[in-house]
């Protein structure tokens, strides 16, 4: 395709937590935007979003609103993506979809730019953005896999409420305030149990075998993005944190990686900051990711219960690298590879 | 030894979070107490504790205050246990120590009554109560180990602040209140980082290889209590929860255990409640353990990334079964086995 100087970009779900972050990421990265078009549900009609200082009218997303759009970034849930992503693609936009709707579709690339940018080359109009937990794990595991060959992953997550959207975000706030002043929570609207000062081992719906859909996402997306031979078992847990996901990751590799080698590989890898200095109590935590693009890795330890084992603690901003930032980086990579 | 009808019981650290729970556990279990003697630091002098409705004078713990005591339960930290437990034992008390001071001493049994009550038989005056995270994990794993033989454990913990004592408990409360009203935390006295709305992958001091002492406790105590051939690798994490520890546990066994068999074994085992009904979103969480003695087990899933694998989510009250309740159950088992 012929390269343009500037692109018309739509964000579907532009008023949500992730949608707002997408807008500000496009701004701060100076993405070459000609027209910015905020789209969403019926309630978007008549609203305005300021992009690079200029007011942009919002519309209810339908076929007409995708006309003339080059890149459409979706973050409006699976149902909206299912219905509207093919329409946007038919109208000539390249879709970058943040929902789980198209991720395992063999016709749609599933991309973390640091891991598998080459998969963008075979896109058919819809590119899927992986699950937040998968993205940060694979950014950190890619250099280790290239060096030593990962065979098996055992991962337990500590996921913040912002991944569930605004209702959950406000739910944690309101529940916490009530619990601190009265010792109980009367309204647990955000989740089926209280999330304030609690941990919920349940993210997305339960599936066969007792695993959740979130857990299967980590298993299957890892295969599609990094290596189809890797076996992953996951336990995904919601914790009372506003922003930032943590992962306790145990890997078994074909070849030995020492703690020192892992640190060396991770320090050289893109989009990673190693924070691992036990002598000075330095390790990453979710509160550190508030204004951070990079994924933080610490608590790197050789695991001698198997021949070649390693433990890691991987922390990232689920709204940025886990969603909006990765989507915009996909868009940037599309431009670099001349794919829009 | 001749069996008495009632026993003189001292609790060292009786005014702490665990000490208070020890007192109330002795009361509600109708432990046959003749005299209750609250002991602690200098600041205990002159204070009173009500036991079974009667005021009991508190004293600064020293050799004299252990005279006439049959059972001394310690929960006053490692330094106090190191100094005073041998003195209490010399004075004829059987010591049940909640600190980590004596746990790995080959002369001291380390006991979870549901797992290895027989180890009490060789006590020499000091019995160690295991680490809270170890206790709940082994109560749940014991029936599975007996059936299928556990070879390896990969565990990630979600531990509440009450395990760190009153300062941390109040720290979470104060930090949360400040964060909710101002968006930041000015005083992080409880831990080296903010704990409110954050996760800290650091419990107890860092050791060789980047592991913490808490993580080594889980490794070594599991060997001493359950089976010396079991290999454990642990990542221990503090979460912003007041009461109740959670554990994401992946086990590899010699023989296959199906999800159904695991549920059957756990439902028959002592001190366990199985909460595992994904169709109705039923799984345990720490808030459920507030007034609970039993350890809750849910999210039981076969792990097909290895030949014989199983994932479990184990939740328990760290102050009760993780500390005070297990100590009092050790005392009860001592009486049953005529060992006081």
Has A236 been annotated as catalytic?
no
Which residues of chain B make contact with A313, given a CB cutoff of 8 A? 201, 235
- B130 CB-near residues (< 8 Å, 6+ apart): B103, B110, B111, B112, B138, B217, B221, B225, B326
Q: ipTM score here? A: 0.96
Q: How confident is the model at residue A4 (pLDDT cuts 50, 70, 90)?
A: confident
What's the pLDDT at A144?
A: 98
Residues B217, B219: Cα–Cα separation, whole Å: 5
pLDDT at position B213 over 90: yes
pLDDT at position A2 over 70: no
Rounded to a whole number of angstroms, the distance from the CA of A140 to the nearest CA of chain B is: 17
Q: By three-state DSSP, how is residue A9 classified?
A: strand
- Across the interface, which of A152, A237, A281 has its CB nearest the CB of B248? A237
CATH of domain B7-130+323-336: 3.40.50.720
Q: Are strands A295-303 and A309-316 parallel, antiparallel or unpaired?
A: antiparallel
Contact A271, A293 (CB under 8 A): yes
Relative orientation angle of helices A132-148 and A259-268, to the nearest 10 degrees: 120
Q: pLDDT digits over A246-263, tens only?
A: 999 999 999 999 999 999
CA angle A127, A132, A136 (to 5 degrees): 105
Report A:222-251 residues touching B (Cβ under 8 A): 231-233, 235, 237, 239-242, 246, 248, 250
Radius of gyration of chain A (CA): 20
Residues B264, B303: Cα–Cα separation, whole Å: 18
Residues A338, B234: Cα–Cα separation, whole Å: 46
Q: pLDDT digits over B281-306, tens only?
A: 999 999 999 999 999 999 999 999 99
pLDDT at position A277 over 80: yes
Looking at residues A214-234, what average pLDDT do you find? 98
pLDDT at position B175 over 60: yes
Among left, alpha and beta (phi > 0; psi -120 to 50; other), residue A46 is left
Out of A108, A123, A145, A245, the active site residue is A245
Residues B237, B286: Cα–Cα separation, whole Å: 14
What's the pLDDT at B2?
A: 56
Looking at residues B63-83, what average pLDDT do you find? 97
Looking at residues A109-125, what average pLDDT do you find? 98
What average pLDDT does the structure give for chain B?
97
Looking at residues A51-58, what average pLDDT do you find? 97
The superfamily CATH assigns to domain A134-317 is Dihydrodipicolinate Reductase; domain 2 (3.30.360.10)
CB contact under 8 A, A248 and B156: yes
What's the pLDDT at B1?
A: 52
For B150, B220, B223, the CA distances from B229, given in Å and listed in that order, are 9, 11, 7
Sign of CA dihedral B243, B249, B255, B260: positive
Q: pLDDT digits over B242-255, tens only?
A: 999 999 999 999 99
Burial of A338 (0-12, 13-18, 19+ CB in 10 A): exposed
Counting Cα atoms < 13 Å in the Cβ hemisphere of A106 gives 0
Closest CA to A42 of A59, A57, A56: A59
Q: How confident is the model at residue B205 (pLDDT cuts 50, 70, 90)?
A: very high
Q: Find where tokens 């419990």 sit.
A: B203
Contact B259, A170 (CB under 8 A): no
Q: Where are the beta strands (DSSP E) in A16-162?
A: 33-40, 48-51, 54-57, 59-60, 71-74, 94-97, 126-128, 150-158
Torsion angles phi and psi, residue B186, rounded to 5: -90, -30
Q: By three-state DSSP, how is residue A152 classified?
A: strand
Out of A132, A145, A236, A246, the active site residue is A132
Secondary structure, 3-state, chain B:
CCCCCCEEEEEECCCCHHHHHHHHHHHHCCCCEEEEEEEECHHHCCCEEEECCEEEECEECCHHHHCCCCEEEECCCHHHHHHHHHHHHHCCCEEEECCCCCCCCCCCCECCCCCCHHHHHHCCCEEECCCHHHHHHHHHHHHHHHHHCEEEEEEEEEECHHHHCHHHHHHHHHHHHHHHHHCCCCCCCCCCCCCCCCCECCCCCECHHHCEHHHHHHHHHHHHHCCCCCEEEEECCECCCCCCEEEEEEEEECCCCCHHHHHHHHHHCCCEEECCEHHHCECCCHHHHCCCCCEEEEEEEEECCCCCEEEEEEEECCCHHHHHHHHHHHHHHHHHCCCC
Q: Are strands A54-57 and B33-40 parallel, antiparallel or unpaired?
A: unpaired
Rounded to a whole number of angstroms, the distance from the CA of A312 to the nearest CA of chain B is: 9
Closest CA to B204 of B160, B168, B164: B164
Residues B169, B171: Cα–Cα separation, whole Å: 5
Domain ranges of chain B: 7-130+323-336, 134-317
- Across the interface, which of A199, A250, A299 has its CB nearest the CB of B246? A199
For A111, B306, B332, the CA distances from B144, given in Å and listed in that order, are 40, 17, 25
What's the pLDDT at B149?
A: 98
Residues A337, A40: Cα–Cα separation, whole Å: 29
Looking at residues B183-203, what average pLDDT do you find? 95
CB contact under 8 A, A301 and B231: no
Residues in chain B, total: 340
């Amino acid at each position: 395709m012929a390269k343009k100087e500037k692109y018309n970009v739509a964000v579907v779900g532009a008023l949500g937590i992730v949608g707002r972050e997408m807008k500000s990421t496009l701004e701060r990265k100076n993405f070459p935007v000609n027209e910015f078009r905020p789209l969403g549900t019926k309630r978007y009609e008549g609203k305005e979003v300021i992009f690079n200082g200029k007011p942009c009218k919002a519309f209810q997303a339908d076929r007409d609103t995708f006309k003339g759009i080059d890149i459409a970034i979706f973050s409006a849930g699976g149902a909206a993506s299912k219905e509207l992503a093919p329409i946007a693609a038919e109208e000539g936009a390249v879709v970058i979809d943040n929902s789980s709707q198209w991720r395992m579709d063999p016709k749609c690339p599933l991309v973390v730019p640091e891991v598998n940018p080459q998969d963008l080359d075979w896109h058919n109009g819809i590119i899927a953005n992986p699950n937040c937990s998968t993205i940060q794990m694979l950014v950190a595991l890619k250099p280790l896999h290239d060096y030593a060959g990962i065979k098996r992953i055992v991962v337990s997550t500590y996921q913040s409420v912002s991944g569930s959207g605004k209702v959950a975000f406000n739910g944690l706030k309101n529940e916490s305030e009530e619990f601190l002043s009265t010792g109980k929570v009367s309204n647990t609207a955000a989740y089926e149990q209280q999330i304030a000062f609690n941990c919920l081992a349940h993210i997305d719906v339960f599936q066969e075998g007792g695993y959740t859909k979130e857990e299967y996402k980590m298993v299957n997306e890892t295969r599609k993005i990094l290596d189809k031979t890797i076996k992953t078992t996951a336990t995904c847990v919601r914790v009372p944190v506003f922003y930032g996901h943590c992962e306790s990751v145990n890997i078994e590799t074909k070849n030995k990686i020492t703690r020192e080698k892992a640190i060396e590989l991770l320090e050289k890898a893109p989009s990673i900051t190693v924070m691992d200095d036990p002598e000075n109590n330095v390790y990453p935590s979710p509160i550190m990711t508030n204004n951070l693009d990079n994924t933080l890795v610490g608590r790197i330890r050789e695991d001698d219960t198997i021949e070649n084992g390693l433990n890691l603690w991987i922390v990232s901003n689920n709204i940025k690298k886990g969603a909006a930032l990765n989507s915009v980086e996909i868009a940037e990579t599309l431009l670099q590879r001349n794919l829009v």
